[in-house]
Structure formats: structure tokens, C-alpha cells
Chains A and B, each alone.
Chain A
Amino acid sequence: MSFDISVRRRLGERSIGLDLQSGSGIVALFGPSGAGKTSILNMVAGLLQPDWGRIAVAGVRLFDSEARIDLPVARRRCGYIFQDDRLFPHMSVEANLLYGRKRAGSAPAIDFTAMVDLLGLGALLERRPATLSGGEAQRVAIGRALLSGPAFFLMDEPLASLDGARRDDILDRIAHMHALTAIPILYVSHDRDELLRLTREIVTIPYQGSSGSPTFASARLQ
């Protein structure tokens, strides 16, 4: 089982929740803006603490409110691709790419040269993030996460700031990367066509209004 998630979290007037058990591969979270998709990714990454629940990915328990397990963000081995690239502005592209290599240790899923080829970053290594286009920056962000030796990926609308041709390019590269490394991906988007190009495993997160009793998304895949 790749993702085994069962969480609840109150945010102001709203409740966010998800029960999900999936096989290996790419799992997509689909839903309107404001449904809490990003909050769910943040809970899996350890950036937001659930009020209640448990999270295990690839057999590793990351959080369990009953067993009082809450692994720190840095030790969750999560490759998080944010909506914005979040590259470090004071470092070169190459230094950004190598930032997480310590954790990857001696046996990374992919070596530096292969990653540079896969994502087409060869000409960018010396550049500063501020000089990159949106598509280039997002490719660097994916490469940086990939080199950090992740056990799984979290991708939060990684195409949000890109136009048509660039979106296709990044989608192809993500699919190719997945075929190559088989690292599971939890992928968030509000665009169903985008998700269908990557996977058939789609979980819909309904909008949780402030009134009435919330219904949480629940899915058992494969």
C-alpha cells in the first residue's frame, strides 16, 4: 500500500478530512479551490498537524495521534512540489538541486546526470532562480525534490502558473519520472483533464461548507 491516510483537521469554521487507502502509483486528489487539498498535503508532509488520525506512506508510519507518533518534516522523506517553485533565491540552480542530497545518502533513486537529462536542466545549472521562467523553475523544483531521495512525492498544482505547452512538457516529464523511479505520487489539482493524463486513481474532495455535518472524502483504491 502506498498511501494510507485517515485524518481530520478543523481550520476555523471548516473541517477537513480524508480517508484514503491506495495501491502503488499515482493518486490524484481532485476538488474545487478551498476544499482543503493543500491542507491535506501539508498534513502528509508534516507542515500541518492533524487534530486526529494516522498517516502512513509506503509502510512507514509518519503520524498517529493515538500512538503519539509525529515524525518531523525533515525525516518524512517527502518530495514536496509546491504550487510556487520555492527555489532558494540566494543559491544557484545547481546548489538548489543539491540541497537535499545529504538525506538521499549513498544510494539515490537517480544520479545527478540522469536527473539533469530527464528534466532538461543542463543549460540552467549556473543560473540564479530569479532569472528562470516559470516552467524552468518548476523543473528545477522537481529535480531538487527528486535528488533528496524521497520515499514519495506530494505535488500541489505544479502546473498552476504555466501555460499550455509548458504544462504538457511538465506532465510528460512527471509521467516519465514515475515510470523510471516508481516513487508514489499524491497529486493535487482542480483540473480533471490534467489528472486523467497521469492516473485513473482520482479521489474527489468535496467542498466542506461551514454549515451542516461535513462529509469527508473516502476511497479505497485497488
Chain B
Amino acid sequence: MTLGAITPEEWAVITLSLQVSLAAVAITLPFAFAIAWALARWRFPGKILLDALVHLPLVVPPVVTGWLLLLLLGPNGPIGGWLDRMFGISLLFRWTGAAVAAAIMAAPLMIRAMRLSIEAVDRRLEQAAQTLGAGRIRTLFTISLPLALPGVLTGLVLGFARSIGEFGATITFVSDIPGETRTLPIAIYAGLQQPDGEASVTRLAIFSIALCLGALLLSEWLTRRASPQRAGHVL
């Protein structure tokens, strides 16, 4: 078997996957950070429940998550119907729907990484900033966020890698439409169903592995880069 070059159809799959994953991570970032902050810093009733709900997509079969998205965001669903009536937006069978499915599946990993790094921020430094005249907003942007940044970036990278690999919820919610919802894993699965698809499957599989390996190495590097600074401050 010869490997051959990546075909235009395969490039379309790759760029669509990147587009879906970048959109998924961008949608999730502000919500994930807010939830991570609440879980790390606040005490409120139902916190344990929120923590469990946030982790749910990690353990529930992805097909179930996709089916729930179909119920909620489909044209007859409570949210999907509202979006359609108010804005004429439909997520079903669209790349935007694939991005939403990937966002839901990536959220637990992103929230986890951000929460850990927010918990590691030394709150006494925030107090010091306040005694120097910094209000809450300035303290957040000049002290808390920069110190939590490695974890936020790690969360972004992990969430991106998870979105690239998302299959079950996506195919259940938005199906397999070439050029619209046929992302890397779906294209690989479709290739396996075809008698002559093996070379294409191999190319796409190698590309996925390289992409995700790169993302994990990047996240590891970011984590390492952050630790000597913290260790240095203990004394």
C-alpha cells in the first residue's frame, strides 16, 4: 500500500475539523473560565451538583449527549425551536452544530485544567494588590489571570485536542455531511466502510495523531514553563 498525497477532499476534512474545533474552544472559553472560577473560589448551595454536571459529558456515552443535543437544539426542541423562531438559526446538520457538540464534550477538560490553576493562585498576592489600590477588576486582570494563565492555556489545548477527536455526539447530532459536518473521525469511519478507503484512512489517521500529539506536547510544555516560577516564589 502506498501512502500517497493528501487529496483535496481530505484537506477539506482537515480544515473543517480545525474550524469546528477552534470554534468549539472559543465558545467554551468564557463559560469554562467562569464555571472554573466559581468552583475554585465560591461556596454556594448546589456546588457539588454543578461539579458533577460539569463532568457528566466525560462519562456519559457520547451518543447519549448527542441525542440530548438533538432533543434540546433540534428544530422541535425548546432551545432549537426558539433559536429558529427568533433568529432563523438552525444548528442541525450544520458545522455550527458540530462545534456545539465538540464544545460540550471539551468543556469538562477545560474547566478541570482552569480550576486547578485558579486554585493554585496565591490569594495573598491578590490581597497585596488590593492594599496597593487595585480594585477587583484590576486585581483579576493583572494578578489572578496572569498567574492562572498556564492552566488556562493548557485547558485550551486539551479542549482543542478533545474537539478534534469528537465523534459520537457529533455524528448523532449533526450526522455525516461531507463539507459540512464530516470531521476527521467521521471521515475516517466513513473511509473504513469503503472497499478502497484504506490509504485515505491511513493519511487522515496519521494527521490526527500528529495533531493531537503536538497539542499534548504543547500543553505539557506550558505546564512545565509555569512551575519553576511558582516554586521560586515559595521562599
Contacts and interface: CB of A to CB of B under 8 A. Distances in A.
Contact of A130 (B128, B133, B229): B229
Contact of A80 (B128, B147, B229, B232): B128
Contacts of A78: 131
Interface in A134-166: 134, 144-145, 148-149
Given A47-B127, A73-B127, A89 B229 contact: yes
B133 A88 contact: no
Which secondary structure characterizes the binding site on chain B?
helix
A74 B135 contact: yes
Contacts of B125: 86, 88-89
B43 interface: no
Given A89-B229, A130-B233, A80 B143 contact: no
B229 A99 contact: no
Interface string B113-149: 0000000000011011111111100000011001100
Interface string A75-100: 11111101010111110000000011
A128 B134 CA distance: 21
B131 A90 contact: no
B230 interface: yes
Given A73-B127, A82-B128, A90 B134 contact: no
B230 A103 contact: no
A74 to B, nearest CB: 5
Given A73-B127, A82-B124, A89 B233 contact: yes
Contact of B132 (A47, A103, A129): A103
Contact of A74 (B130, B146, B232): B130
A90 B146 contact: yes
Interface in A94-113: 99-100, 102-103
Contacts of A102: 133
A98 to B, nearest CB: 10
B129 A88 contact: yes
B233 A80 contact: no
Nearest to A82: B128
B131 to A, nearest CB: 4
Contacts of A82: 124, 128
B124 A73 contact: no
A136 to B, nearest CB: 12
A94 B232 CA distance: 18
A74 B132 CA distance: 6
Nearest to B228: A130
A130 B124 contact: no
Contacts of B147: 89-90
Given A88-B129, A89-B147, A74 B230 contact: no
A74 B128 CA distance: 10
A128 B232 CA distance: 10
Given A74-B130, A74-B133, A78-B131, A129 B233 contact: yes
Contacts of B235: 134
Given A89-B147, A89-B233, A80 B129 contact: no
A78 B132 CA distance: 7
Contact of A148 (B132, B143, B230): B132
Contacts of A77: 133
Contacts of B130: 46-47, 72-74
A188 interface: no
Interface of A: 45-47, 72-80, 82, 84, 86-90, 99-100, 102-103, 128-131, 134, 144-145, 148-149
30 contacts: A46-B130, A47-B130, A72-B130, A73-B127, A73-B130, A74-B130, A74-B131, A74-B132, A74-B135, A76-B131, A77-B133, A78-B131, A86-B124, A86-B127, A87-B233, A88-B125, A88-B143, A89-B147, A99-B129, A99-B132, A99-B134, A100-B132, A100-B134, A103-B132, A128-B232, A130-B229, A130-B232, A134-B235, A145-B131, A145-B132
